[in-house]
Chain A
Amino acid sequence: MSKIAVSTTVNGDPAEFLCDAGETLLDVLRGSLGLTGSKEGCASGDCGACTVMLNSQMVCSCLVLAVEAEGKSIATVEGVAEGSVLHPVQRQFLEHGALQCGFCTPGFIVAAKALLEVNPDPDETEIRYWLAGNLCRCTGYDKIVRAVSAAAAELRQDSKAQRSAA
């Protein structure tokens, strides 16, 4: 069986890999690219633990064929922090105790960041519905919702500060 060569951008860096036609993006991220931050909880798009950004749209990487990533840009949980500086969503998850086992956390981080990029001031209902594709079995979601809300407030504050500085 001959492999297919795919060229992509992962977290801003060029990345190339070989895959079989049936392999998913999640398989390749976790396998040959060694990015195990994206988790496989169901392999059917029902838990969101494998959430990544594909050309700026959040998707379940278990529902994307790896070959489809040709020429596209992928952003994973590993690229959310800038170097060793955490993104406000990550920091607020820590500050709020919004994780217990942490297995669903990468998917929530990517999804929450994506929400705040399109809706900087979501209310509780908007947060809950946006995150409905991300299952968490440990927290009951309460602290996750609070963390996302706090991150939104922090980001609004940051952008306000940037605007007044400019």
Chain B
Amino acid sequence: MTTLTYHAPRTREEAVALLAADPTAKVLSGGTDLIVQMRGGRAAPTAIVDIKNVSAMMSVLGNDGRYSIGAAMPCTGMLRDEGLCKAWPGVVEAANLIGSVQVRNRATMGGNLCNASPAADSIPALIAAGATVLIVGPSGIREVPVEQVPVAPGKTSLTAGEFVVEIRLPVRPARSSDAYLRSIPRTEMDIAVVGAGVSITLDEAGTCTAARVALGAVAPTAILVPEAGAALVGSKLDGAAMDAMAAAVRAACRPIDDKRGTAEYRTAMAGVLAKRTALIAAARAKGEA
């Protein structure tokens, strides 16, 4: 029987030292993935580093229109920050589709990101939002785009001793908003068969000036589809632009058949959901929703 130790460091430096000292060590944030994996034998760390006591890990900070979300901030905690909900409704709603209320009271976007499931709900929304993450490690601090963190199912680009401390959302331009939708068989408590995050900016005439479209569960990691965003730019989200966007989305899909859906279904749904999500984001950008 392996022995397991538990650490609750107070500083980033302590946490980095603990993680660097033990290559099997796992970061504990909300625990909603890690504890299940440990129980099922899919994770067998010899050390757990609980990062919730590290300062600012469980806060939302707004600063000149930018937001910094502590990596251990529970999903439901974000609902209490009105400014964040107004600026990034798509990110907040994506994080608050994970699991149940019980789960979301613990689960975090940092954990969702580092668990690196292709079907994670918050990742497409964060990618669409153009979010970055702050990573600390033995060689210091680095900031990378969210989409560079997951590299394969269950694998991240983080190196030994590194962990995510903060998720950063950029300044929200005027007439701009985001949305996230997912396809699931039930109404709650499911893993996305497909997820679509869209962030969109309109000009005063309602013409799209910028758009980012990201997808979940259609490739080994959540993906940004630049062609899909480009298809919307310059349009008023008319049928032709939306069809072109959906076509770009479908073309980017590289899904698999599994217990949650067929590849064919996933590709088709990616197009359907991307359209629906874009319409919600646009309506929000116009202040209509």
Q: Would A and B touch once assembled, by the CB under 8 A criterion?
A: yes
B101 touches A111 (CB 8 A): yes
Specify the main secondary structure of chain A where it touches its partner.
mixed
Bound-state Cα–Cα, A129 to B186, Å: 12
A133 touches B101 (CB 8 A): yes
Q: What total of chain A residues lie within 8 Å of the partner, measured CB to CB?
A: 30
Let me know if A68 is at the binding interface, CB within 8 A: yes
A59 touches B48 (CB 8 A): no
Bound-state Cα–Cα, A63 to B30, Å: 8
Let me know if B103 is at the binding interface, CB within 8 A: yes
Q: Which residues of B contact A43 (CB under 8 A)?
A: 36, 39
A132 to chain B, nearest CB (A): 4
Which of B31, B187, B189 meets A63, CB within 8 Å? B31
Which residues, 1 to 54 on A, are CB-close (under 8 Å) to B?
1, 4, 20-22, 24, 43-46, 48, 51, 54
Stretch at the interface among B2-10, B59-67, B222-230, B251-259: B2-10
Q: Which residues of A contact B28 (CB under 8 A)?
A: 65, 68
A21 touches B6 (CB 8 A): yes
B48 touches A65 (CB 8 A): yes
Let me know if B207 is at the binding interface, CB within 8 A: no
Q: Which residues of B contact A68 (CB under 8 A)?
A: 28, 31, 50, 52
Let me know if B188 is at the binding interface, CB within 8 A: yes
A22 touches B38 (CB 8 A): yes
Bound-state Cα–Cα, A126 to B96, Å: 14
Let me know if A147 is at the binding interface, CB within 8 A: no
Q: Which residue of A lies closest to B39 (CB)?
A: A43
A51 touches B188 (CB 8 A): no
Q: What total of chain B residues lie within 8 Å of the partner, measured CB to CB?
A: 30
Q: Which residue of B lies closest to A107 (CB)?
A: B102
A48 touches B39 (CB 8 A): no
Q: Which residues of B contact A46 (CB under 8 A)?
A: 189
Let me know if A57 is at the binding interface, CB within 8 A: yes
Bound-state Cα–Cα, A43 to B41, Å: 13
Bound-state Cα–Cα, A63 to B188, Å: 18
In the complex with contacts A65-B28, A129-B188, A60-B102 CB distance below 8 A: yes
Q: Which residues of A contact B38 (CB under 8 A)?
A: 22
B102 touches A45 (CB 8 A): yes
B207 to chain A, nearest CB (A): 36
B102 touches A59 (CB 8 A): yes
Q: Which residues of B contact A4 (CB under 8 A)?
A: 6
Let me know if B99 is at the binding interface, CB within 8 A: yes
A137 to chain B, nearest CB (A): 14
Which residues, 1 to 53 on B, are CB-close (under 8 Å) to A?
1, 3-6, 8, 28, 30-32, 35-36, 38-40, 48, 50, 52
Which residues, 43 to 91 on A, are CB-close (under 8 Å) to B?
43-46, 48, 51, 54, 57-60, 62-65, 67-68, 70
Can you identify 20 A-B contacts, CB atoms within 8 angstroms?
A21-B4, A22-B4, A22-B38, A45-B100, A45-B103, A51-B102, A57-B105, A60-B106, A63-B32, A63-B35, A63-B103, A63-B106, A111-B101, A130-B101, A132-B188, A133-B100, A133-B103, A133-B188, A133-B189, A134-B100
- Since A63-B36, A130-B101, A133-B189 are in contact, a sample of 17 more A-B pairs with Cβ atoms closer than 8 Å, ordered by chain A residue number, is A1-B1, A21-B5, A44-B36, A45-B36, A45-B99, A51-B102, A57-B76, A59-B102, A59-B106, A60-B100, A60-B102, A60-B103, A63-B32, A65-B48, A65-B50, A68-B31, A129-B188
**CB-CB nearest 5 A-B residue pairs:** A133-B100, A132-B188, A21-B6, A21-B4, A57-B105
B positions within 8 Å CB-CB of A: 1, 3-6, 8, 28, 30-32, 35-36, 38-40, 48, 50, 52, 74, 76, 99-103, 105-106, 187-189
